[in-house]
Each structure stands twice: as structure tokens, then as C-alpha cells.
Chain A
Amino acid sequence: MCIPWHKREEVKVAKSPHAPRRSLGEHIVVALPYLWLIAFFLVPFVIVAKISLSQTAIAQPPYLPVLDLSQGFAGLVAFAKELSLASYALIASDDIYLLSYLKSLEVAGLSTLMLLALGIPLAYGMARAPKRLQPVLVMLVVLPFWTSFLIRIYAWVAILQQDGLLNRVLLALGVIDAPVVWLASDTAVHIGIVYSYLPFMVLPLYASFQKLDESFFEAAADLGCPRWRAFFTVTLPLVMPGIGAGALLCLIPIIGEFVIPDLLGSSETMMIGQTLWTEFFANRDWPVASAIAIVLLALLLGPIAAFERVQGPELGGRRR
């Protein structure tokens, strides 16, 4: 009859042979974010990396060597000779640092799982709520940001303390006979973290759930898949990028979290942020503090790279 179906059309990929020429103004616009990153990210990073290779000293600033450019090239050589990996050796030799890193990973991992368990149903429910109600629900999720983060954590201290709201409610309900010690425990840290980070989990998830076309669910139902099963076979796979984004958006900052474990956690087990703070402010050991920060950054590179992989195609549209 005519040309067979499969030969009729090819997937056409438009590729322009010449990249468009950029004007000076466009070059400046493109350069601005790079300049920003160099000034406020790369330069501080180099400074921190340099401090991590120095030694403590009772001086101002409290480390040596300090680069003295007035001596010219000889000064630079002398400076380079003074650098050492002593701080890294210390971090590797003493368990306290390793334990801190592990503690951070454990708290962050567990909290992220709890955030997922809470966030997925919450976001799904929001996305399936009546259209006119949805802005209100998003508003409610964002509302806590209107109060200072620190004040909200202090509020949790008040809620969780011995004669706090939580214990009084549980006693009144007869769930417990004697007040429970909540504060200064991992439980309190997890409560604080889950509470603080929930919006960061819910919002990207909500965005992914909401983007789903209703016709996918109709197609699933039409093909014999009941709604509850479609949640697992269709909905979850389609929102995977959102789930990944939400999980990493929480996991990464939680690993470095300082305020919540400091105010709600016990002083016996420290997360890496607290260890870093102690080295910097209590011990005035800037090189070790800097080395901790560099190692933390190296550890986070894995998850950050994963985040990029998940988020890249999301931001740039589907890769074809």
C-alpha cells in the first residue's frame, strides 16, 4: 500500500553545526556566576585547605606558617617547606574523629529515612488534595520558616524537657507513669532534625507528585492495575528523581548539622559539626578544624555527585 510503518519516519535530532557567537555583554553575564563562585567559594576553600596544612601556634592568627610575599620566591619556598599533613595524621590516629564522622552519618541516614517515611505520604496527600486547597497546604509547610530556626529549636527544648509539654501530655493520657528523659538523647536529635528538615523533603516531593499527569493513573487502571498498586508500579518510579533530590537535600546538610545536636543531643556522642566547633573555638586548633572540614567535604562529594546526577536531568529537561 505504502511505505512500511517502521521506515516512515526517523527520530530527528536537530543539531546546529555552529555555536552562536556571543557578544561582550553575554560573556560578562556568563562570567558573573563564575566570578562569584571563585570569590566566595574557591578562595575560601583554598584558604581553609591551606590552614589544614599548617601547624597551631600561639600567635595571631593561631597557626604557622603565614605566607610572607615580601621575601619573594625564597619566602614562598620557605612557606611550602613548613606545610605538613600533621593535622590529617591526627584525625586518622584518634578514633574520636572517626566516631564523630560515623555518628553524623548514622544520625543523618536515620533521619533521612524517617523524613522519607513522613514526607512521601505527606507530599502525595498534598498533591492529590483539591486544587484550590493546595496553595494553602504548601503555605502551611513553609510557615515555620517565618520564625527563627534557633527559636524553634529552643521551643523543642521546652517541649522535651523533664516537665515539658510532651511529658505532661503523655502523663495525662496515661501512656507513661513517670516523666521520660527526652533531652540529651539521639531521640531528641532525630525529632529536632526531622522537624526542621521536613519542608526540604516535602517540597521537592510535592513538586514531583504534582507534575504527574492524571492520564498515567487512568492508563494504569485501564490496563488492570488498581490504584494502590499503581502507586508502586507507576507513581513511585516516576517520582524517583524527586525522592532522590529530597533525600540528598536533607542528608547532605544533616551530616554537617551543628545547632540541633548541640541543643538537643547528649554531650557524650558528638556529630562531626560539634567536633569541628570544639576544635575551632575550645581548642583554638584551626589546622585540625580545617582538616576536619576538608575531610567532611571529601566525604560529601559522593552524595553531592549523586545529587547532581539525579537533579541534572530534572533541571535541564529530559535528556534525549
Chain B
Amino acid sequence: MRRAFVPPDNTPPAVRFEAVTRRFGDHVAVDALSLDIHEGEFFALLGPSGCGKTTLLRMLAGFETPDAGRIFLGGDDIGAVPPHRRPVNMMFQSYALFPHLTVAGNVAFGLKQERRPKAEIAERVAAMLKLVRLEGMERRKPHQLSGGQRQRVALARALAKHPRVLLLDEPLAALDKKLREETQFELMELQARLGTTFVIVTHDQEEAMTVAHRIGVMANGRLVQVGPPPEIYEEPRSRWVAAFVGDVNLIEGTVVAIDDGRIEIADAAGRRFVGFAQPGTIPAPGTRVAFAVRPEKFSVTTSAAALEPDALEPGTREPGTLEPGTLEPGTRAQSASEKRSRAVNRFTGHVADIGYLGDVSVYKVRLSDGTVFKAAVTNATRRAAPPIAWDDPVTLSFPPDAAVVLTE
């Protein structure tokens, strides 16, 4: 994860959207959206296709005009400024490199529009090509370059004019996975070095998480959550965000007991789950809520090994049900609470599917009533002993603080 970003004080935001709306016929692409992007920030607009993120970016570039609301750049309303006068530059998804111009000609294009002296243009072009490590490619035409090289020419061209804000529209979508990942780090490094405000539009959550200081998650023309990547991932505000960003197990249930921040819910099969709600967002008993648990928060143990030392008398209740009254805060004796907390959020099931990804293995575990949980286990050792196989009985558990309590 990247270093935390501290927005500068007392300066107007680099970009401010104020209740901006854009409609295409009956379709509302951007719906009364408000957002501040700080000076020097790397901001990612993340959302599925058709969520309005590209429209938002294009309004900032001036290619679309808002039907309502205002857009500010460094404190100035830029509503009436045509695209060619806006001090922002865009890197297009298709790169839109001019095929009749050389690499140097493409990078110089924007500078020539300002009628800068020739020597200055040449110097700036050389500096830009050095920045993206394309020295020696000046005379090539775009069709003589590889995809990755074209991507860098597009980046150099967009940066050549020192834009107040650099707009990146799915800039890495055309690259293959490995190159894309490397380029993400290059982009971050570049942004940190230049200090320019970057706004990137992407549908790739890993890309957004990697490069951005803050992510704005969009759905149906609205921002559903804005925050730094760890916040988006670990504290999603709604079921939709939890499911869109990363993998998640959503456990739907009704609140049956509340003790301070500690929430206990029962799902349709009567299983009890325990989690902690954020102060101030504690749902009332009887409310329908969801526990969002990321697959990697589960621990998976083969049942034989797990059940031995602290099994709670099998036969008296189903494994996985919670004994009421466990985990009362304050009253826990160290060893007893250890024992009890292990008994919380614990279920047995059978392995229905295994996805071996190399670094992690994903297990789909089916419980007796058919509910399937997805658990991800890091393959920290080369050979897991004993290995977990299809149809093996296993025990799943997650600590109460791993669950995010969601009402939306």
C-alpha cells in the first residue's frame, strides 16, 4: 500500500463537482454528484461499466456539458470554458495518438498550440520522453510501437503541457496483466515525483487500490463511497460496495442480541453469528443486517484436528451455533474466553470446490443446509499438511471483528 496522502491546508480543492448531473435521453449518467479532489492527489473513480465514471471525467475535460451543477478547477467555475482552453489533459483509453505524426510530433502537439519557441518545445519533448523512458524513439510513428510504448507516448503527450489535473481514462486497459501491474507502479511513482493531481477512471478494483490515494466507488451515476483503499475494502458501507470491491461472503440475518458494539445475528437456518458494529451505527434488535466477511478472514481447518481440544460437547447442539451468553465483555477469564471465542462463528461443512491460484487457495465450503462460504487461505508453505481435498469435512471460523455489519 502507498504512503498516506495528506491534503494541503487552505487551498481550494483541485477539482470540485457540485451537484453535477448529466442525462442522455432518459438515462441519467451522472446524478447530482458532488465530490472534492485535493491538489496533488491520485484519485480513482471506480465502478462497473455504465456507472457514469467516464462521463464524469469527460465533463471535467469539457467533452460533455453538465445538464445541472457546476464544476470548479482550482476554485474557478470552468462550465463555460471550451476543452481546448482547459488546463487539464487527458490520456485516452484508445490513446488517440495522431498516426501521421512521429512520437516527438505527438508529444510536441500541445506545446505547438501555445506557439512556444522551437528550442523550448524540443527541450520539453526530450524531457517528457526521458520521463517515460522512450529516448531514441522520437522519429518512430505510432504504428511502429508496441502497445506499451504507445501507452507511454500518450502519457508523455498528456503531461507535456503541465496540466493542472491529468485525466486517465482506463489508461492500462489495453495492456496485458503483467505489464499492467508494472505500469501501475510506474504511474504511482510518476505521480509522486510530479505532484500533479491525477484522476483515473477504471473498472479494475485492483488497479484503483494499487495506484490511488482515494477511491470514489460509483454506481448508477452516484458516488456510493469515497475513501482510501483500505477503508473501501475493510469498511464497505453497503452490501453493493462490499461485493463490488473484492470477494465477500454476505451473511444475511436478523439482529437477536446487542451488547455494546457486539451484535449477534441469526440467519435463516438459525445459525448465530457474532460481529462488532461501528459505534453510532448499531442496528436495533430485529433489524435485518448482513455480515460481510472477506474470504481471507476465514480460517480453514480439517475437522478432525479442529474439533478435538475445545469442541463443545457434540450432540447437545449443532456445531457453529453460539451458546447465548458467551463472550460477555469484561467477564472473560483469559483461558475460558480463549476457548469460547474459538467457538464463536465456527461451522463445519464439506469442501465443494477448490481453486488453486498458487499464492492462495480458495475453498468453497458447503454447510449442511446448502449455504456456501468462500474462504481463501494463503499457501505459506510449499506443502500443506495434511492437504485439504474435495469433500473433506472442514471447520470454518472467523473472528468477530472480521465481520462488517451492513444495514444498507
Contact = CB atoms under 8 A, between A and B. Distances in A.
A223 to B, nearest CB: 3
Nearest to B144: A11
State which size class the interface on B falls in. 35 or more
Interface stretch (B179-187, B338-346, B388-396): B179-187
A225 B98 CA distance: 13
Contacts of A5: 132-134, 148, 152, 186
Interface string B39-70: 00000000000000000000001110000000
Contacts of A2: 182
A320 B144 CA distance: 7
Nearest to A216: B96
A237 B100 contact: yes
A219 interface: yes
B100 A238 contact: yes
Count chain B CB atoms within 10 A of each CB in A216, A227, A237, A238 and give the residue with the most: A216
Contacts of B182: 2, 8
Interface of A: 1-2, 4-6, 8-12, 213, 215-216, 218-227, 229, 233-234, 237-238, 240, 318, 320
B89 A9 contact: no
B61 A224 contact: no
Contacts of B113: 223-225, 229
Interface stretch (B77-85, B232-240, B293-301, B365-373): B77-85
B109 A238 contact: no
Contact of B98 (A1, A12, A216): A216
Interface string B120-153: 0000000000001111110000011110110010
Contacts of A218: 61, 63, 83, 90, 92, 96
A238 B142 CA distance: 13
Nearest to A225: B113
15 contacts: A6-B136, A8-B148, A11-B149, A218-B83, A218-B96, A219-B98, A220-B84, A221-B82, A221-B84, A222-B84, A222-B158, A224-B113, A224-B114, A225-B110, A320-B143
A2 B181 CA distance: 11
Count chain A CB atoms within 10 A of each CB in B88, B98, B146 and give the residue with the most: B98
A223 B149 CA distance: 20
A11 B141 CA distance: 13
A1 B185 contact: yes
A222 to B, nearest CB: 5
A11 B84 contact: no
Nearest to B132: A5
A6 B85 contact: no
Contacts of A234: 98
Contact of A224 (B97, B99, B161, B185): B161
Given A213-B94, A215-B92, 20 more contacts: A2-B182, A4-B133, A5-B133, A5-B152, A6-B133, A6-B134, A10-B146, A218-B83, A218-B96, A219-B97, A220-B109, A221-B63, A221-B82, A222-B83, A222-B84, A222-B158, A223-B161, A224-B84, A224-B161, A233-B109
A220 to B, nearest CB: 7
Contacts of A226: 82, 84
A179 B157 CA distance: 61
Given A6-B134, A238-B100, A320-B143, A219 B92 contact: yes
Contacts of B97: 219
Contacts of B132: 5
Contact of B85 (A1, A4, A224, A240): A224
A8 B185 CA distance: 15
Given A1-B185, A218-B96, A224-B161, A9 B84 contact: no
A39 B84 CA distance: 59
Contacts of A320: 143-144
Contacts of B114: 224
Contact of A221 (B83, B152, B157): B83
A223 B89 CA distance: 7
Contacts of A221: 62-63, 82-84
Contacts of A4: 133
Interface string B200-227: 0000000000000000000000000000
Count chain A CB atoms within 10 A of each CB in B83, B89, B90 and give the residue with the most: B83
- Listed from nearest, the 6 A-B pairs whose CB atoms lie closest are A223-B110, A224-B113, A219-B96, A215-B96, A5-B133, A221-B83
B149 A9 contact: yes
A41 B186 CA distance: 61
A222 B161 CA distance: 10
B112 to A, nearest CB: 8
Given A213-B96, A218-B92, A11 B146 contact: yes
Contacts of B143: 318, 320
Contacts of B83: 218, 221-222
Nearest to B110: A223
Contacts of B137: 6
Contacts of B135: 6
A225 B146 contact: no
Contacts of B161: 223-224
Contacts of B98: 216, 219-220, 234, 238
Contacts of A237: 100
Count chain B CB atoms within 10 A of each CB in A12, A229, A234 and give the residue with the most: A234
A225 B92 contact: no
A234 B98 CA distance: 7
Contacts of A215: 92, 94, 96
Nearest to A2: B182
A226 B84 CA distance: 6
Count chain B CB atoms within 10 A of each CB in A4, A219, A223, A224 and give the residue with the most: A223
A5 B135 CA distance: 11
Count chain B CB atoms within 10 A of each CB in A9, A12, A213, A320 and give the residue with the most: A9
Contacts of A8: 148, 179, 182
A4 B137 CA distance: 15
A226 to B, nearest CB: 5
B99 A225 contact: no
A238 B99 contact: yes
Nearest to B148: A9
A219 to B, nearest CB: 4
Nearest to A217: B96
